[in-house]
Amino acid sequence: MPTIRVELFEGRTAEQKAALAKELTDACVRVLGGKADGVDVLFFDVARHNWASGGQLWSDKAPPAPAAE
């Protein structure tokens, strides 16, 4: 079964990561078959100053707008 590497900006909670790991695992089992314990999810927290898109560091971009309620 697969190993899924998730790279994301630091700051997500353990609860958010657990929920994402469950959803990714469930999707793999549903689509690929096999058992949940065969799916590995690895999280890599990356600081915004260590990630650039379009030649610009994310730490230099405006902060994201808060989510609407």
63 is catalytic: no
CB within 8 Å of 39: residues ≥ 6 apart:
1, 2, 3, 4, 24, 25, 28, 29
Sign of the torsion angle spanned by Cα atoms 54, 58, 16, 36: positive
Catalytic pick from 2, 63, 64, 66?
A: 2
Tokens 């999280």 -> residue: 43
What residues are annotated to the active site? 2
